[in-house]
Amino acid sequence: MPPPSQRRRRTGNHDDENDTRRRRQSRKNNQSDDDDDDELSDKEQDGDVDLKPAAADGTGDQLVKKLVRYALACEYARVPIKRDGIRDKVLGNNARSFKRVFDAAQDQLQKVFGMEMSELPVREKRTLKEKQKATARKATSQASTSSRQYILISSLPREYRAQPIIGPSRIPSSSDEAAYVGFYTMVISLIVLTGGELSDVKLRRYLTRLNASQNLPVGKTDDVLQRIVRQGYVDKVTEKAEAEEDIVTWCVGPRGRVEVPPPTIAAVVRQVWGELPDDFDIRIERSLGIQRADRLQGANGTAEEQDEEG
């Protein structure tokens, strides 16, 4: 049996070895965490984050509720729901849970509110300078195909999207909200029906004929135009011209393309047209670049018959 002094010496050496192993393991864990953070940053930049589930302490459910509230608040202010905003204002240190929380919030929005988050299209490049920058990014493979922004749209079946069910907001008032929606819908319809672009001179002429300055209860015409630009319904494109006045053109913005699609524009035209001509549907579909499924099927059937006869 070794003497007590030798036993104490061996025990001390054994403790030193344990401390050394613990320090090595701690360094490995820290390095692993750093690698995971680097991998997360790369995936977040690509917009495709496959994440681990949140801890089973109720945190995940709270994040889902927080995202639902954030989406509703953004829609109330008519500002886009940004992915960066979700990470900063909702997820915080739980950025790895983005996909799981987003999908769960989407499910809650659909089941409880009859709404869903829909991604906005990428804003089109209008001016020559913007197009040159887009071309340069595309050449260096930096062009983004995702806007990383969302808005809330109705997920109700079409038969339930009627005035008695989905009416204008009561804030500030139902009449003011209805007038505002009608104004930007009319402006978007005019832009689309004139080929997707409308000069400032023509837009002012149309608004004068509509007596917009007198009929708009929500503010001055210029103020309302600035508001629908700020909220993404339309884009105001200004190009500098040498020795001439700036050329101002109006185009449909990302939110306008989602909220006022061609079928909505066709419905507006039907309401204001009066007595419709027999070929109205064909003419409006041609103007809007849409074609109904039954008409398309009939055209395909005619083409097949001609091929068989030939």
Return the pLDDT at 164: 75
**Residue ranges of domains in the chain:** 44-119
Give 125-132's long-range contacts (Cβ < 8 A, gap of 24+): 126/235, 126/237, 126/249, 126/251, 127/237, 127/239, 128/239
- 117-170 pLDDT, tens per residue? 999 998 776 666 666 565 666 656 555 677 889 999 999 998 888 777 777 777
* Topology annotation, domain 44-119: Arc Repressor Mutant, subunit A (1.10.10)
Return the pLDDT at 165: 77
Angle of helix 280-288 versus helix 262-273 axis, rounded to 10 = 140
- 236-249 pLDDT, tens per residue? 998 887 767 888 99
Least reliable range by pLDDT among 163-172, 221-230, 272-281: 163-172
Taking 80 as the threshold, does the pLDDT of residue 50 lie above it? no
The answer to whether 223 and 183 are in contact (CB under 8 A) is no
Q: Which residue has the higher pLDDT, 28 or 127?
A: 127
The answer to whether 271 and 263 are in contact (CB under 8 A) is no
Taking 50 as the threshold, does the pLDDT of residue 33 lie above it? no
Q: How far apart are CA 189 and CA 38, in angstroms?
A: 47
